[in-house]
Chain A
Amino acid sequence: MIRLTKAKALWIYETMVRIRRFEERSIELFQAGELPGFLHAYIGEEAVAAGVCAHLTPKDQITSTHRGHGHMIAKGLHYKGMFAELYARATGYCKGKGGSMHIADQDLGALGANGIVGGGIPIAAGAALGLKLKGENHVVVSFFGDGASNEGAFHEGINIAATWKLPAVFVCENNGFAESTPRATHQAVQDIADRAKAYGIPGIVVDGMDPQAVFEAAGEAIAHARKGRGPTLIEAKTMRFLGHYVGDPGTAYGHDKEVGKWLKRDPLITFAETLEKKKWLSKKSIDAIHEKVNKEMEEAIEFARKSPEPELDDAMTDIYATV
């Protein structure tokens, strides 16, 4: 088993803080009317992205979802490019063409967030195939939600990866809801991980509020994949602390009642306590991390605000490579 070292633990904690603060600030800016479009906040699920990505190098790849900011930050994308993208600026990761739901940086192994639920899953299988064919020992992680596990793309993508023993890890962030639909009313299985049986691969349920548990489960699955033994389906039980999108109070479908017990297990609090107990963190060092993150964040927001908007002509570029 891969043990959580102090360095990794601190990286995970800081990454979770970075994600949390990014989301909090984005919501404020969105509500202040500074950001166009809409946002799906990752708050509450930070342990999953951080715990998984702690194992990844920039050469490893991920695919992500509409709720993708956390994955991108954990994969090493910087605030500036992300904020600039949310602000629809030319300096954004996607030149202002993608927005919140479509952040990507292929140089850093972030193949792309996705507005189509389930859309990233077969792409991850294909990326894993490509890496395998190239003989590179990298892995691909595909993040997606419980709702996505009902799309044909989920079954088709995982089956392909399993059949060809591709170096992929499928991480289902089961937050109990697909938009407004409680999980129990959109599928009959209790654990999505059970579906792994149908593809002949390992399926693991892990507590998505526990960074260490996620780290360990992901470590095993990734090692398995790197050894050429094929994919794993990890189901991380987690919860988004907010509505489906910023502005959704979550009251129409019982999310507000469900979320209470999960708030007590906020990984930013529990993990800080754990690390404090281990003396790997202190109040002071926690403050220092927050301060550093905040400073970086405000700089990035300033950068984004000052960045130019794309030119009108930019609308017509990047459609083709050669036309």
Chain B
Amino acid sequence: MREILYREAIIEALDEEMARDDSVFLLGEDIAEFGGSYKTTVGLLDKYGAERVRNTPISEQGIIGAALGAALVGMRPVAELMYIDFSAVAMDQIVNQVAKVRYMFGGKANTSLVIRTQGGAGRSSAAQHAQSLEAWFVHVPGLKVVMPSSARDAKGLLKASIRDDDPVFFIEHKLLYLEKGAVPEEEEIIPIGVAEVKREGGDLTIVATSSMVGKSLAAAEELEKEGVSCEIIDPRTLFPLDTETILASIRKTGRLLITHEAVQRCGWGAEIAALAAKDAFDYLDAPIERVCAKETPVPFSPKLESYVIPGKDDVIAGVRGMLETV
């Protein structure tokens, strides 16, 4: 299969969906001539014109509200928030409007829109440009939350998100944009709500999201040499959640480690831990472990940043701790 960059996979998904459906259009800061701060919309202005690839003012609340308004009258907007950190500026529209409109108005309103954004640390972007805030959105009923970890998932899931009739909060990762991965040439829609077993194993289940999937796969390679076999599950969609795939794996391995780049406290991993403790309680052979960011804002210093953000070695240490014998 051919290999393309994660960011190219995003462009392809947008391109194909815009070609397929005239109601799909893009809006966001610097997405037109500039092709987006992370070059995820390059070439689309030339192809679809300024009406459908719209540069916006720096008005995050306005962007999301405008996307919702357009959706209400039948369009399928894809709004880009340059950084997930800036979602905080648009929180009213996301949480009180986008997420609520369908329910509050009795189910008739059309809220088919996608909010694309990117998060994560690793580039010394410091406290306001490197957060992992996915749990905020998973916590809000009415939003679907997608977080792809590979080029293939990014493309297939973005296409599914654009076609979905619910608002989808689609979280990319700034460090993954330049990672290559196999993506089929032919059209592929990856359904929302389906996890993927990224690696099979028998000793321990690692549930990993976004950038932690790759780090976990690398950790698993090393652990394999020690005779430890890790199964790695990427939920890909944080909500709706494919609980069955996760639980089946836990029932098989008896051990669960959850890893994400967001801080541990009240992170999405807590939800997975609760799920396992309830629905796979009798299968747990060790306390549930979480490998997450330390509970601090992201520091600028690369040294501190890599200390705070979990890496491959943290996953390995977490696994070893769980398998440690007396």
Residues of A within 8 A of B (CB): 36-38, 85, 88, 94, 96-99, 101-102, 114-118, 147-148, 150-153, 178-181, 185-187, 252-254, 309-310, 312, 314-316, 319
Contacts and interface: CB of A to CB of B under 8 A. Distances in A.
Counting chain B residues whose Cβ lies within 8 A of the other chain, the interface size class is 35 or more
A186 B56 contact: yes
Given A88-B303, A99-B124, A181-B30, 9 more contacts: A36-B124, A85-B300, A97-B299, A98-B127, A114-B128, A178-B30, A179-B29, A186-B56, A310-B303
B33 A150 contact: no
A315 B61 CA distance: 32
Nearest to B56: A186
Kindly name the residue among B86, B126, B301, B303 whose own CB sees the greatest number of chain A CB atoms within 10 A: B301
B55 A181 contact: yes
Given A147-B57, A150-B59, A186-B57, A37 B126 contact: yes
B300 A186 contact: no
Interface string B93-132: 0000000000000000000000000000001111111000
B304 interface: yes
A100 B299 CA distance: 12
A117 B126 contact: no
Contact of A37 (B33, B35, B58, B300): B300
B57 A96 contact: no
B23 interface: no
Interface string B52-91: 0001111111100000000000000000000001101100
Contact of A178 (B58, B299, B304): B58
Nearest to B129: A115
A151 B29 CA distance: 12
Contacts of B180: none
Contact of A148 (B33, B58, B296): B58
Nearest to B59: A150
Contact of A116 (B57, B86, B297): B86
Contact of B58 (A102, A118, A254, A309): A118
Contacts, number: 129
A309 B29 CA distance: 35
Q: Tell me what chain B mostly uses at the interface: helix, strand, loop, or mixed.
A: loop
A43 B129 CA distance: 23
B304 A310 contact: yes
Contact of A147 (B58, B123, B125): B58
B60 to A, nearest CB: 8
Contacts of A114: 128
Contacts of B308: 315
B43 to A, nearest CB: 12
B56 A115 contact: no
B307 A315 contact: yes
Top 8 closest pairs, chain A to chain B, by CB: A99-B300, A180-B34, A115-B128, A150-B57, A37-B124, A88-B301, A36-B124, A96-B301
Contacts of B295: 316, 319
Given A88-B124, A115-B127, A253-B34, A36 B302 contact: yes
B198 interface: no
A91 to B, nearest CB: 12
A96 B35 contact: no
A310 B127 contact: no
A252 B125 contact: no
B59 A97 contact: no
A151 B59 contact: yes
A187 B62 CA distance: 13
12 contacts: A37-B300, A38-B123, A97-B300, A97-B304, A99-B300, A116-B86, A117-B58, A180-B33, A180-B55, A187-B57, A309-B301, A315-B304
B35 A252 contact: yes
A48 B223 CA distance: 58
B294 interface: yes
A319 B298 CA distance: 11
A252 B127 contact: no
B59 A102 contact: no
A310 B302 CA distance: 10
Contacts of B86: 116
